[in-house]
Chains A and B, each alone.
Chain A
Amino acid sequence: MNREQKIAWFMIVVIATSLVMSVVAVTVLYFIVGMPRDLDGFSCLGISGFAGFARLIFKKEKGVVEFDERIQIIRARAAAVAFSSMFSVTIISCISAFFIYGSEGMIPIKMLTIFVGVVAITLFFIYSLAIVIQYGRDSIDGGEKNERE
């Protein structure tokens, strides 16, 4: 597993953890304080911010080639998929807000933060997922056992 994969996996794990914790927190709060205060549970999405430390945790190794033309292509494809997904989520968020609060309504800051957070999380989650999937396809043919075949 190279640095790119490690970073992608780290991001997936951190973001997935924050999503699961948010859903659990919202569910628990729903039974304790009810709606709409249960939405405070989405503050657990803040945990996903730790994903930003990935490149600091997995540092570059000296003398090791970690970037080449294929990684460039993988990154480009992942970015394209991630931006498409982010665009879809952005539009869905805008339409949802329109239907929930109406054309003349006002969005609570809490909801605005959740919308923006979900859009940002979608971008990084899909990007990381696309990288892991693209590497996964090739690793079927190339494990350590192929080293001297």
Chain B
Amino acid sequence: MKGNKIKNVIRRLRFDHDEMTQQQLADMAGVTRQTIIAIEAGNYSPSLSLAFRIARAFGVKVEDIFQYESEDS
């Protein structure tokens, strides 16, 4: 079975939102800054609930932030 990864554009979206800091996003999503760091780096895939909270913080859809990339494709 080949691996897959969930990519995201959180870093770019933070820039687009007046250079929002990781801490500000973390506070809006209700998680620690380290969790935002891990998600941005692709080291942690958030739960559906957290993904929606992050999307809501930016005012966009979940699929605008997270993209599923499979090595098969």
A residues whose Cβ falls under 8 Å from a Cβ of B: 2, 65-71, 135, 137-139, 141-142, 146-149
Contact at A71–B32, with CB atoms within 8 Å?
Answer: yes
* Assembly CA distance A82 to B3 (angstroms): 28
Give the A-B contact count at a CB cut-off of 8 A: 58
Contact at B44–A138, with CB atoms within 8 Å?
Answer: yes
Contact at A69–B22, with CB atoms within 8 Å?
Answer: no
Interface residues of A: mostly helix, strand, loop or mixed? helix
With A147-B22, A148-B21 as contacts: A142 and B32 at CB distance below 8 Å: no
Q: Does B70 contact A (CB under 8 A)?
A: no
Give the shortest distance, in Å, between B54 (CB) and chain A (any CB).
Answer: 12
What count of chain B residues pass the 8 Å CB interface test?
22
With A70-B35, A70-B38, A141-B37 as contacts: A65 and B26 at CB distance below 8 Å: yes
Give the shortest distance, in Å, between A70 (CB) and chain B (any CB).
Answer: 4
With A138-B38, A142-B41 as contacts: A147 and B31 at CB distance below 8 Å: no
Which of A69, A142, A148 interacts with B31 by CB under 8 Å? Answer: A69
B residues whose Cβ falls under 8 Å from a Cβ of A: 11, 19, 21-23, 26-27, 30-32, 34-35, 37-38, 40-41, 43-44, 46-47, 49-50
Instruction: Name A140's closest neighbour in chain B (CB-CB).
Output: B41
Chain A residues positioned under 8 Å from B38 (CB to CB): 70, 138, 141-142
* Assembly CA distance A68 to B39 (angstroms): 13
* Assembly CA distance A66 to B35 (angstroms): 11
Which of B19, B30, B44, B47 interacts with A148 by CB under 8 Å? Answer: B19
* Assembly CA distance A148 to B12 (angstroms): 10
* Assembly CA distance A5 to B22 (angstroms): 19
Contact at A135–B43, with CB atoms within 8 Å?
Answer: no
* Assembly CA distance A149 to B20 (angstroms): 10
With A146-B22, A147-B21 as contacts: A135 and B34 at CB distance below 8 Å: yes
Contact at A142–B37, with CB atoms within 8 Å?
Answer: yes
Chain A residues positioned under 8 Å from B27 (CB to CB): 65
Chain A residues positioned under 8 Å from B30 (CB to CB): 65, 68
Chain A residues positioned under 8 Å from B49 (CB to CB): 69
